[in-house]
Every structure is written in structure tokens, then in C-alpha cells.
Structure 1
Amino acid sequence: MSQPLAIQFQTTDLEGLASAKGRIAVLADAGAPLSPGARRLDRLTKGALARAVASDAFAKLKPGEGMDLAYPAGIAADALHLLRLPKRCEVAQARKAGAAVGRAHGAGGTLVLAESHARAAEVAFGLAMRAYDFNAHKSGEKSTPGPVTMMVANAEAIARAAAPMAAVAEGVFFTRDLVNEPANILTTHDFAARLAAMQELGLHVEILEEDQLMKLGMRALLGVGQGSESPSKVVVMQWHGGPKDEAPFALVGKGVVFDTGGISIKPAGGMEDMTMDMGGAGVVAGVMRTLALRKAKANVVGLVGLVENMPDGRAQRPGDVVRSMKGDTIEVINTDAEGRLVLADVLWYAQERFKPTGMINLATLTGAIIVALGHENTGVFSNNDDLCNAFLKAAAAEGEGAWRMPMGDAYDAKLKSRVADIVNSCGRDAGAVTAAQFLARFVKPDMPWCHLDIAGTALLKSDSTLAPKGATGWGVMALDRLIRDKFER
């Protein structure tokens, strides 16, 4: 898997600045005194750094943005990267500054002059997150990124502060790799194997095969994958970091490794992006990896339903009726509304087996949420204000866009079926809401629950602040923060 850059923290060495190779990134602010390291660089460059910081171009930069001085005289570095970052700045601004460094980082290496800045660890996190590059399937010689060194006033303290963030970054990278993988590589077999390999981190991992799923009554999930050569699976990942007698919190993910739409086949244009329809399962996997890496003091279980939705002679048809593990019958109106069928059974199984304190499910569930919210925010649906507000607070703290959407009994009328208990698809209007209402049928009345529709945020066609175009890993940071704030003591 892709690994975040290893960042070395060392005490500021003023004498070593002249001979530093590659790029030097300097934190400064318009109108503020230069740091000791910046003053040293300014003397070496005969005032070039101070003139740049005093320029109109630098003053127009927003906090977290930067500008380059190419091939400055007096030092060995190829460029000075000046970042506008006030001493008192927001977390998001510090991460943005780090991301600017990570975007430009190359084979020559980078030295970040952070010194006594209070947000140095967050700068390092932003750098690591933005330096991600998925090149597993590119042929030819691959360039190896150079070393990253961060000069700080107290190297040990900053390294301690950055360690949990490094675990989060690795979890995000794991999610991004999964979402970016093509479907001929990331089959249900391969996905399950990658999750099973996390046992070496201390997770307890079980893989439930089709015969076990049939015995459990997961016919809604099995119906989705019955047209594929790749067998359907449910993977259960348990992290026991809290009290032994304490019920876990549950994370549930939709893992459709490729979605053709089935018999209700999708248009050809853009179907290649349906490799990301396992994004919910990818986020759950990334969170579980993060919890294990940082030895979280909480009990959390992650469950993912892995299927492939293909049009085959055995494939599920529009008009079929399947019985869920709960016992409800579902009329399949549209085989392209398959994710909710997968989640219905896994949600019920999670409650029956683990009796969790609460549940959050994630899924690239509807195009309707993209119409409603675009690519800036994930749609949040919930039956519990406390859990929902705690998640929204965590997402805001981590800079991951999330917006609460409405639910209500009035929408349930659209779920009624002529031949079964409910239908799986209710048409275009309020499509994201009716999908959430469908899932709510498989949540027990006293179970705190959130549904996160990440169809618009899991994969982007352009760069974002902390990620290149492609998979974002949205949700790993927010869910890790939620678990830290709400469940760890």
C-alpha cells in the first residue's frame, strides 16, 4: 500500500541552512517579525527573503498559501517556498500550508523551517496527506520522493504530537488506495485479503463466505452479487481497545467493488468511475486501520459487505422479491439501487450480533446527493440528534464537509410495494432521502444511527486541499475524531 512520507523532526540548525538541498519552506506572515531561521536565510540571500515577505504579492496570499523564490543566491537550495501562516492560525490553515509543501515536494527533498510555530505538527500532517501519489499501475521508472525534514524548536514534543496524525494519514492512504484500485485488481477476494492482513496490527478479522451469509438469511446482499463470478462476502473487523465489558460502536460500509447497475445497466459514459462504489467500505477499513495503529482506547467494530453488481444470466432482475435478514421482503424495482440492499443486511447483522452503542454507515449511495450538495459536503441522515451533532462537530474540526439532510415519516409512503413490504427504489425526487428512509427500516428503534452518503466526496475529478484528484479518503479523519472525542476516556 501507499505509505505517507516519513518526516524527520530535528532541532533547528541555523548553520545547516546554507547547505540544505532541494527546497526550503519557510513559515512567515506579512508585517510580522521573521523567525530566527528566516533571518538567517535572509542574511544568506542578501535580503531577498525579507523583500519577498514585504511584497504586495505575499500580502495578497491567504493564510496557508505560498509563493516561490526560485534559485535564490547565497544558499544551495533550488527554491525558497514562502508560506503565509500567522502564529495564531486555524488547524485548517496550517494543514493547507503543509499541503502546499507536499504538492511541490519532489526527488530533491524538502526542508520545512517551522521552528516554534504552534501548529508545526498540523503542517506536517498536511504535507504528508497532500504528497500522496497512486502510481501502482504506471509502467516505467518511478521517481522516489526525497527526504522531508522539519526543523522545530522541540523535536521530541512535535514528534509526539504528530504520531497520532501519522496513524490517521496511513488510514487515509489505505482508503485512497482501495478506492483508486481498478475492479479487476480489487475483487471481493482481494479486498477481503487486504482486510485480513490487518490482523497483524491487532485487529480481529473474520471473513463470512456465501454459505454462511445464506444461513444468516442475508438474501438481500446475496441477490446483488449473484450475477458475478466474484463471490459476495462480509468482513468483520473488531478493535478491542476499551473496557472488556463495554459494547462497541459500529461502522458499516457498502463495498460494491464494481457497479454496472446490473440488469438496470448504467450508461457507458462514466461507468469506469464505478470502481469507487466500494468507497464506504474503504473508509471503514481506513478508520479501523487508524484505530489499530494508534492503539485507540475504544471498542469499535467495522463491518463491510463486499459484492460485485454484474449483468449475468443469473443476475437479479427488476421485479424480483428478496427477503432480508431482518425478515422484510423487498421488491427490486431497480437493480442499480443495490447498495441499500447490501447495507440492509449488514446493518441488521451488526445490531443482532454486537448490540452496539451506536452505528454509522457509509456508502456511495445516490447520485441525488451530488445534485443536492455537489462535491463539497457529504449528506448526513440520522435518527439521533446527539450522535449526529457529535459527528458534525468532528467533521467540522477536521475540515471534512458534512451537511445534515431531512428525514421523516412522510417519505415512507414512497417505499410501499404492491407485492412486498417495501421497494428498493422510489424514483428521482428526494432520491437521497428515500434511500435513507429505506435504510432506517433496518435500524432498531432505540439504536443511535447515522447514514453518510459519500457519493459526492469519495472521489473527485480535481485536486482538493489535502489530496490530488481521485480518491480523497473522506471520512477517516472525521470518524477517528468522533471516536476520540465521544468514546475514548
Structure 2
Amino acid sequence: MTELPAVSFASLQPEPKSPTAVYFVTEGEELPPPIKRLDKASAGAVSRAIEVAGFKPKRKTLLEILAPHGIKAARLLLVGIGDAKTLTHRDWMDLGGVVRGKLPKKTTEVDVVFAGVDHLPEEAPLGFAAGFGLRSYTFKKYKSKAGKSPDGGEEEQDEGRAPPKLSIFSCWGDKLAAKLQHTEAALSGVYLARDLVNEPANILTPPEFTARLRALEALGLTVEVLDEPKLKSLGMNALLAVGQGSAQPTSVVVLRWNGAVGRSAGDGNVVFVGKGVCFDSGGISIKPSPGMEDMKGDMGGAAAVAGAMATLALRKAPVNAVGIVGLVENMPSGTATRPGDIVTSASGQTIEILNTDAEGRLVLADLLWYAQEHLEPKLLITLATLTGAILVALGKEYAGLFSNDDKLASEIAEAGAESGELAWRMPLSKKYNKLIDGKFADIKNIGSRDAGSITAAQFLQRFVKNGTPWAHLDIAGTAMASPSTDINTSWGSGYGVRLLDRFSAKFHETPSAES
């Protein structure tokens, strides 16, 4: 795993001492006093550089000034922030990512000065630190010097190199240090999820994924593994049908965090449910070859659940939460499920499998039923790279959000907006049910070509008991093959970790007995 940047907070000082110093400039206002002092110390070199470059401090514009005379820092970065009054937490995250992306790879430390700019909220430095950390993630563990091209054009290897140390100076001093734990916990959770999604499927098999989740016991999580004999005894035949063509055994892993001190068991748990198809060939309904390599990321939902649960444990969140993931590989073989097969799910409902590539909903169907029978949920959230249709509808900017509960849907959408992991609500309606009513069984696992994401969610809803608040996030467009952004250049984005963490913190956590 990429090492987290070391972050420290301190009170303002006359001039930063690190080789690289960052200052902020507001559009339409004079240079702030700290930059004016630097300009005076450099005999006007800073103001001349601004004039020559035609620097306009619109949001996310940068001016780099190298080796200014009379200043200790060898590199000054002036960062335009536009109108400071309009900046959100996500904007400050983006600014942290922009600055991190500008730094040379060999940078070891950087000072960031929050001074001389009005209307800065106390959370701004934390947002900046979060974005800086998210952009610092890399996944190059399988790169080697031996892979150098004949022309010497290999990308410089920096896996294992510590990211720059980040020192933040502000009027809040070290007051922010106590809040930093939450930021670092969330970064660790995102890094974990990104690592899992980026791993190749020959490494991250269901048993290996299970082993990595077992290791989370070191964080204080309780980990329970349900193996194939146990799954068979529970009647989880829908989930087992997905993996029966693979040489890799299927498992279900339950992660528990009991952080709500004094809360009675009857209050229920926040339950996250993740699809963990470690590789999806499509099974007998095999996928086209182009792009099939991306199906190593078809466990993005399980990765998000793992990262979120790790985050809650690391920050000792005052909430009772459970994560459950189904880990399976979908492969074609002589033992694989055939189109036309009928299985009986754990709920007792029969499923006609018309397309073995619509396998994620089979995994989630049994997980949902198990969660309701055994995990005392007060609410359920499923996360899955479920349908290509959601990409057609929403692209890669928003996950699809489906829910049977308006309050829950509103909370998730709000948490998504605040965390920067956006979700757009899609419809559910009984009118879609006829598209998945089975001919030979209770339900079929695909509908028509129309409303593909909706019918997939309608399928899942068949396994949610009346009165149980449930929401589903279709993250096929946001979890893998993600576009490069200010805070992420990784193929696996770790989408869902920050959303679930914000959802828990804002809506479902209670003060601990100690506080």
C-alpha cells in the first residue's frame, strides 16, 4: 500500500523553511500580506514573476517561481482560489490534489500557508490535506527495472518512495490535529479499496481477498468467514451458482464494528453489502474479449465495503456497523452454471438464470437475505459494479442510486455531495417488475434491453423485506477505469469509502460514553 503523507499542523511563522512553499491568492483582491513580505524579501521578484506570467488567480491556477532571490524556499507555488467565499470542502480537496500533482517526484517536504486570505473556514486545511493525500496514491507494485524499454523510456519508479511531508501553517495551529485522525482514517480506507481494485485477478483470488479481510482484525474489526459448506447449509445457492465453474472457492466475509457504546442491540446495525466478483468472465455467457481485462475490478463494491469498515475502525467511529461481502469468481467450465438453470435462493425464491453474465445480482440476493436474517440491520446499502447500463445513463461522474426509502436516499445523496462521491437517484417502480417475472421460476435474472440498471435494482428489491430501509449504489461507472481527476490518477478510484464514511458520521453516529 502507498504510504500516507505525514501531515502536521502548526501556528503561523514568519517564513516557511521547507524547500517548497505554497501560498493562496484570491481573485480580485490585493496580494495577501505574507506574499507581499516575500516580494519585499526578494526585491520584487515575486511581483515581477506574477506580471510576466500574466498570472490570474482563478481557481486551480498555479504559478511556480523557482529559486527566488532572498527567500529560503527554492520553489514558491502561488495557488489561485478564485472567490474564497464560494469554496466547498470538495474544492479544498481538489486544490490539495492540484498542488500534489504539481510537485516533482523527488519532493520530500512542502509547507502550505493558510494566511492573509479572508473567509477561510477551519475545515479548509483538512480538506486540502485530504486531497493532497488522495492524489499521492500510486499503484506500481508490479513495475520493475527489468521492464525498462530499450530506449530507456520507462516511467521513473516511485513505488515505495514516501510522499512529501506536508506542514500546514494557519491561525488554528495544532487545533486541527485532533481532527486529522478522521482524515487519515478515510485516506487509509480509500487506499485499501484502491489497492484491492487495482490488483490483478490471478493475485486477488477469493481466498486471497478473504485473507486480506481477515487481517483487518488488527484494526479491531470482528471478522467471520462463511465457507462453501456453510453457504450450502444456509441455502445460498444463488451466490454459489456464480462460482461453481471456477477452481477458486467461494466465500462470504462478515466484518463487524461495534463502536456505539451503550446502544442496545435492538437499535440495529448500519449494514453495507458488497459484490466481490474477483473476476467476471461472464461465465458460459462469456463476455467479448476487448476490455475483459477490466473485469478484475468487478469486486469494487466489496472493496468499498472493506475500505469503509476499515475507516470506521481506524477512527473508532461511535456506530454499530456491519459489512458483508460475497467473494466469488465467475468462470466458464464443465461445472459452470448454464443459461436456463434454475436455482433456489436463500430466501426461498427461485431464480431462472437466463444470462450467466448477470451474476452480481445473484451474489447480492443471498447476501441481502443473510443480512436481514442474521445481522439485525436498521438499514441496508448495497454497492456493486452491477450494470453497464448505468454508464450509458450517468457516465463516470455519478453512481446510480436506487432506494425504497426517501430519507435514506436523501442521506446518501447528501453524503455523496459532501464527500465528492456523487450519486444520482434513479426510479424504482412496480411497473418494472413484469420485466423480470420468470417464465419457469419466480424471477429471471435479466429483463429486456430496456431499463437495464433499473431492472437489476428491481431484482435486488425482491430480496428486501417490507419495512427494511434499503438503498443500492450501482458503481460500475465510478469504481474502476475511473477518469483522472485532481484527487485521483488511479485506475481503481476507491469510490464509496468516503461516501459511506460521511454517511455514517453525519447521520448515524452517537457520542461515545467517554465524550
TM-score, structure 2 as length reference: 0.90
1:32 correspondence with 2:29:
yes
Q: 1 CA distance for matches of 2:47 and 2:142? A: 44
Q: 1:129 aligns with which of 126, 134, 138?
A: 134
More deviation, 66-75/458-467: 66-75
- Counterpart position of 2:106: 107
* SS at structure 2 position matched to 1:358: strand
Q: 1:461 to 1:350 in 2, by over 3 A?
A: closer
Question: Per the alignment, do residues 300 and 158 of structure 1 end up closer, same or farther by CA in structure 2, a change over 3 Å counting?
Answer: same
Q: State how many pairs are aligned.
A: 485
Q: Deviations over 1:98-126 (max 9, x none)?
A: 11112123322322122475311211111
**Paired residues of 2:10 and 2:167 also in contact (CA < 8 A):** yes
SS of the residue corresponding to residue 2 of structure 2 reads: coil
What does 1:142-181 align with in structure 2 at a 5 Å threshold?
142=158, 143-181=161-199
Among 55, 75, 99, which residue is 1:58 paired with? 55
Which letter maps to 2:11? T
Deviations 1:245-285 (A, max 9, x none): 23101100000000000111111111111111000000011
Amino acid at match of 2:99: V
Match of 1:352 in 2: 373
Give distance in 1, aligned partners of 2:489 and 2:427. 32
Residue 41 of structure 1 is matched in structure 2 by 38
Residue of structure 2 in register with 1:386 after alignment: 407
Q: How far 1:427 moved relative to its partner?
A: 3.0
Mapped to 1, the partners of 2:494 and 2:211 lie a distance apart of 20
In the TM superposition, what whole-angstrom CA distance separates every residue of 1:382-411 from its partner, at most 9, and x where no partner exists? 100010011111111112221000111111
Cα distance between partner residues in 2 of 1:469 and 1:289: 20
Per the TM alignment, residue 42 of structure 1 is displaced from its structure 2 partner at its CA by: 2.1
The answer as to whether partners of 1:28 and 1:53 remain within 8 angstroms in 2 is no
Superposition deviation, residue 76 in structure 1:
4.7
Give the 3 Å change call, closer, same or farther, for CA 344–300 of structure 1 in structure 2: same
Distance 1:62 1:274, change over 3 A: farther
Structure 1 equivalent of residue 152 of structure 2: none
1:263 is aligned to 2:284: yes
d(CA) in 2 for partners of 1:260 and 1:200?
34
Question: How far does residue 154 in structure 1 lie from its aligned partner after superposition?
Answer: 3.1
- Residues 435-487 of structure 1 show CA distances to partners (whole Å, capped at 9, x for unaligned) of 00000000001110001000000023531121004111111111111111111
Please state how far the C-alpha of 1:35 moved relative to its aligned partner.
4.0
Higher mean displacement: 333-342 or 2-11: 2-11
- Provide the C-alpha distance between the structure 2 equivalents of 1:236 and 1:280, rounded to a whole number of angstroms: 14
CA-to-partner distance for each residue in 1:65-120, whole Å, 9 max, x for gaps? 42322343333544322112254322122111111112123322322122475311
Match of 2:9 in 1: 9
Partner residue of 1:435 out of 456, 459, 462: 456
Paired AA for residue 434 in structure 1: T
**Aligned partners of 2:471, 2:102: CA distance in 1, in Å?**
38
Aligned letter for 2:476? A
Asked if structure 2 preserves the Cα contact closer than 8 Å seen for 1:30 and 1:58, the reply is no
Cα contact 2:481–2:492 (8 A) shared by 1: yes
| Cα gap change, 1:57 to 1:417, in 2 (>3 Å) | farther
2:482·2:493 contact (CA, 8 Å) conserved in 1?
A: no
- Indicate the percent of aligned positions where both proteins have the same amino acid: 46
Contact 2:139–2:490 (8 Å) recurs in 1: no
3-state SS of paired residue (2:377): coil
Q: Structure 1 residue 241 and structure 2 residue 239: aligned?
A: no
- Matched-pair contact (CA < 8 Å) for 1:417–1:423: yes
Deviates more, 1:62-71 or 1:249-258: 62-71
RMSD: 1.8
- Partner of 2:93 in structure 1? 95
8 A contact 2:482–2:492 mirrored in 1:
no
2:253 partner letter: V
Give the corresponding residue for 2:151: none
> 2: distance between equivalents of 1:405 and 1:46?
59
Matched, 1:226 2:226: no
Which residue in 1 is equivalent to 2:69? 73
Q: How does 1:274-423 map to 2 (within 5 A)?
A: 274-423=295-444
For residue 91 of structure 1, what is the amino acid of its counterpart? H
- Contact 2:194–2:490 (CA<8 Å) still a contact in 1? no
What is the identity, as a one-letter code, of the residue corresponding to 1:67? L
Runs (5+) with no aligned partner, structure 1: none
The answer on whether the counterparts of 1:368 and 1:428 sit within 8 Å (CA) in structure 2 is no
Q: 1:204 is matched with which residue?
A: 222
TM-score by length of 1: 0.95
Q: Distance in 1 between matches of 2:198 and 2:115?
A: 36
Q: Which amino acid aligns with 1:108?
A: T
Which AA in structure 1 matches 2:106? A
The alpha carbon displacement at 1:46 in A equals 2.5
Q: CA deviation at 1:190?
A: 1.1
Asked if structure 1 preserves the Cα contact closer than 8 Å seen for 2:396 and 2:482, the reply is: no
Within the candidate set 434, 448, 451, 2:469 is matched to 448
